[in-house]
Amino acid sequence: MSHFTVRPVRTKDDKKKFIDFLYSHYKNDKNFVPPLRIDREKLIDKEKNPFYKHAEMELFLAERNGKVIGRIGGIVNYNHNKEHSDRVGFFGFFECVNEQEVANALFDEAKKFVKSKGMNALRGPANPSVNDEYGLLIEGFDSPPTILMTYNPPYYATLLENYGFKKEKDLYAWLLSQETVYTEKIIRANEIIRQRSGITIRTIDMKDFQNEVARIKKVYNLAWEKNWGEVPMTDAEFDFLANDLKQIVEPELVLIAEVKGQVIGFGLSLPDINQALIYNRNGSLIGGLWHLLTKKKKINRCRIIVLGVIEEYRKTGAAGLLFYETAVRAKKLGYQYGEASWVLEDNVMMNRAAEAMNGKLYKKYRIYQMDV
């Protein structure tokens, strides 16, 4: 193949090229869901996105004859390394033509960047963190991704593995159907849990949004502490995310579990707006709003994006109760399907809960790592 170059993103025009490549690269892929360009811009904006208050990132473009053929970001998340007492750097936003030489050059740049910051390993993909879009799709290419899940061609795994990346952890996506989720055993078990535990489930009070966010924030960081790869979100990051999701949230699908008025867990499910955005091929804001408005009735799936319980209540069945209540309320709203994602491959409790509700393991994502 002809010569190509890899260079860092420096100018506003470079950033535009970096974002534009996502749309041109997937223009003929019917399962790709074009995200809103304004969201992609915000994700890599070091001034607006509070993630970069505790992280560094360098973006790179691969070009041939003036045309972009690949891109990547090298990322150092100092809060991750503080939380896990390691020196792991990350790569993210990886997109590339099917040429090993181009992929190798991009990975080289990400590796050099994290190594220059004192890191001894490179992990990813993280776009840009565990609290954002995470993992490489390795199974389940026959359908579009749900909201905030990643998507990529099958050949990406080969590019990574040929470079020397090894599997670090797999993440699961379970598909649940209203037709098969309600077994007599599940219904009876949840009634017993409710009676014995004293757990009550309520929906978020949108009129008290800021205080509700504060309550959920506290539980979120407690519920996921000690999980593999997890990094507590700062107040600024949590508020940034909450204000974004507020635009699309369905209050009936934000469930808060309490015992005697104390919040002990919560579940957040979002309407799968990807089912509308898939028609917005250029990622424009006006086009996205139009398709969301006119195709709202096509949305028959939601994604259970977060579901967790603080440690002292994990053996009470509270997680299963949140799962079940999500299904019941989603049914009332007309959602036929739900995706529970992502779930760590070794999260026995959550995977068992999904299996008990006759979930189908239909997509797998992988986190890769290598020494630098």
DSSP string, 106-166: HHHHHHHHHHHTT-SEEEE-EESSTTSEE-EEEE-TTSPPPTT-----THHHHHHHHHT-E
- Judge contact between 258 and 200, C-beta under 8 A: yes
Instruction: Give tens-digit pLDDT for 157-197.
Output: 999 999 999 999 999 999 999 999 888 888 888 888 887 88
Average pLDDT over residues 40-50: 96
Residue 1 has pLDDT above 70, yes or no: no
- Judge contact between 363 and 173, C-beta under 8 A: yes
Q: Annotate 283-333 with three-state secondary structure.
A: CCHHHHHHHHHHCHHHCCEEEEEEEEECHHHCCCCHHHHHHHHHHHHHHHC
The one-character DSSP state at 234 is P
What is the rounded CA–CA span in Å between residue 29 and residue 191? 45
* Closest C-alpha among 246, 93, 63, 247 to residue 156: 93
Residue 46 has pLDDT above 60, yes or no: yes
- Judge contact between 128 and 90, C-beta under 8 A: yes
Q: What's the pLDDT score for residue 92? A: 98
Q: What's the pLDDT score for residue 89? A: 98
Residue 328 has pLDDT above 60, yes or no: yes
Give me the domains of the chain, ranges plus CATH numbers.
5-171 (3.40.630.30), 176-363 (3.40.630.30)
Write the burial class of residue 2 (CB in 10 Å: 0-12 exposed, 13-18 middle, 19+ buried). Answer: exposed
Instruction: Give tens-digit pLDDT for 72-107.
Output: 999 999 999 999 999 999 999 999 999 999 999 999
- Name the percent of the chain lying above pLDDT 70: 99
Residue 307 has pLDDT above 60, yes or no: yes
Query: Lowest mean pLDDT: which of 102-106, 275-279, 314-318?
Result: 314-318
* Closest C-alpha among 267, 268, 269, 265 to residue 199: 265
